[in-house]
Amino acid sequence: MVIFVAKENGDRRVAVTPEAAKKYVDSGGSVVIESGAGEEAGYSDSSYEAAGAVVSTEKGVAGADIVISINPLDEKMVKQLSKGTIVISTQEPHANPNNIKLFLKHGITTFALEFIPRTTRAQYMDILSSQACLAGYKAVIEAAHYFDRGLPLLITSAGTIPAAKILVVGAGVAGLQAIATARRLGAIVSAFDVRADAKEQVESLGAKFVDVNSSEATNGVYATEMSEVYKRAQEDKLREVLPGQDIVITTAQIPGKKAPIVIKSDMVKLMKHGSIIIDLASKTGGNCECTVQGQITDINGVKVMAFDNILNLIAADASRLFSKNVSAFLDLLLQEMKNCNSDIAAISNDIIKETLLTYDGVPVSSRLQMSE
């Protein structure tokens, strides 16, 4: 079994760390990694060689049994794949229809890691959770870095500095980690979410839950688009609390949809000069009307920040967690393949079934059929 790992395009992370490469090699596989693939995440070519991997100066994907990547492969690489090769990566099929066509044409087996079910059993393979957790943490660290005051209450002989106030919008995985990090740094934290369950989780971290004056709330695990009445109530509440905040971290997402706008342009102007908004939902459109992906926008002295990929700023740990998630997924896949004589379409395990996109020229996933 030859596993190929390419250097990611425009991403400092790497899908397989030397530690994971060693595990694959120790269990009888070979790992070929493109030279420099781990460099920006702090993993040198020599650390891969020490782990038993082969460092290649080419994108030598031809001949690989399994290709592991964080981002969808580029088309040039997809064209080099041969029938039966397994690709494990995020796939974003709606954004990469040409890849899907090529996978089908050439009989490539593809798994989309973003479709790993959010169940307890799949938790240790859940790349969305591991990466969101680091994004939430890093958002607070970046905010603290750009904020020209301290976060904790500081009592000094020269006077008292009040604790900073941080509002977190959206208390999913990233939001909860942002709350926990901001609390550890001594800020006064409040948060809100459209899901009823979030209140208890926010409060258990020592933050205040901001109640929107509305009886409407989502009861499920995932948020849905809210009514116009709710949106107005949420906006009213935000107009009331924003002037008192120093830092706002927005993480609100609705699965499969554009991120909801929760902070309109004129609402940014309600905030104090020197305050900061970090929009973690910028890739799906952003939660703030002023967000420009990859930029810091100054609105009347308020910085609205949207990183191209905040995980690039914590690439070593993001790679480590991603690599562990994939390694757990691959262990499961290989075990299931063994049980089914390598007939992947016959595997009944829900984690494998939910993530399988294409197999032997057939679009297996219902998500794929919906996107046609």
Residue nearest to ligand NAD (CB): 172
Q: How far is the CB of 226 from ligand NAD (least distance, A)?
A: 6
Whether the Cβ atoms of residue 242 and residue 165 lie closer than 8 Å to each other: no
Confirm or reject binding of residue 355 to ligand NAD (CB under 6 A): no
Q: How far is the CB of 93 from ligand NAD (least distance, A)?
A: 18
DSSP string, 36-97: TTTGGGT--HHHHHHTTPEEESS---TT-SEEE-SSPPPHHHHHT--TT-EEEE---TTT-H
Determine the Cα–Cα distance for residues 367 and 372; give it in Å rounded to an integer: 9
Return the number of the residue (146 or 222) whose C-beta is nearest ligand NAD. 222
Return the number of the residue (24 or 307) whose C-beta is nearest ligand NAD. 307
Instruction: Using the structure block, give the residue that is written with the tokens 């029938």.
Output: 83
Q: How far is the CB of 80 from ligand NAD (least distance, A)?
A: 34
Determine the Cα–Cα distance for residues 353 and 245; give it in Å rounded to an integer: 45
Confirm or reject binding of residue 346 to ligand NAD (CB under 6 A): no
Closest CA to 135 of 111, 168, 96, 162: 168
Which residue of 13, 23, 165, 195 would you call a contact of ligand NAD, by CB under 6 A?
A: 195
Q: Which residues are catalytic?
A: 118, 123, 126, 129, 222
- Which residues face 303 on adjacent strands? 276, 298
Which residue of 222, 265, 345, 350 would you call a contact of ligand NAD, by CB under 6 A?
A: 222
C-alpha dihedral (40, 42, 47, 52), degrees to nearest 10: -60
Q: Which region among 156-164, 215-223, 297-305, 340-348 touches ligand NAD (by CB under 6 A)?
A: 215-223
Q: How far is the CB of 201 from ligand NAD (least distance, A)?
A: 7
The HSE-up count of residue 91 (CA atoms within 13 Å, CB side) is 30
Q: How far is the CB of 15 from ligand NAD (least distance, A)?
A: 20
Which residue of 81, 169, 242, 357 would you call a contact of ligand NAD, by CB under 6 A?
A: 169
Confirm or reject binding of residue 303 to ligand NAD (CB under 6 A): no
Confirm or reject binding of residue 167 to ligand NAD (CB under 6 A): no
**Which positions from 112 through 141 interact with ligand NAD, judged by CB under 6 A?**
118-120, 123, 126, 128-129, 132
Confirm or reject binding of residue 96 to ligand NAD (CB under 6 A): no
Confirm or reject binding of residue 368 to ligand NAD (CB under 6 A): no
CA distances from 119 to 126, 163, 167, 221, 258 (A): 9, 37, 28, 11, 24
Using DSSP, state whether 156 is helix, strand or coil.
strand
Confirm or reject binding of residue 173 to ligand NAD (CB under 6 A): yes
What does DSSP assign to residue 162? P
Determine the Cα–Cα distance for residues 12 and 309; give it in Å rounded to an integer: 9
Q: How far is the CB of 82 from ligand NAD (least distance, A)?
A: 35
Strands 302-305 and 296-299: antiparallel
Give me 147's structure tokens.
């904020």
Which residue of 31, 202, 252, 271 would you call a contact of ligand NAD, by CB under 6 A?
A: 252
Q: How many residues bind ligand NAD (CB under 6 A)?
A: 31
Using DSSP, state whether 129 is helix, strand or coil.
helix
**Which positions from 17 through 76 interact with ligand NAD, judged by CB under 6 A?**
none
Closest CA to 252 of 165, 147, 136, 148: 136
Q: How far is the CB of 263 from ligand NAD (least distance, A)?
A: 10
Whether the Cβ atoms of residue 31 and residue 52 lie closer than 8 Å to each other: yes
Confirm or reject binding of residue 188 to ligand NAD (CB under 6 A): no
Confirm or reject binding of residue 213 to ligand NAD (CB under 6 A): no
Residues that bind ligand NAD (CB under 6 A): 118-120, 123, 126, 128-129, 132, 169-175, 192-195, 198, 221-223, 226, 251-255, 260, 262
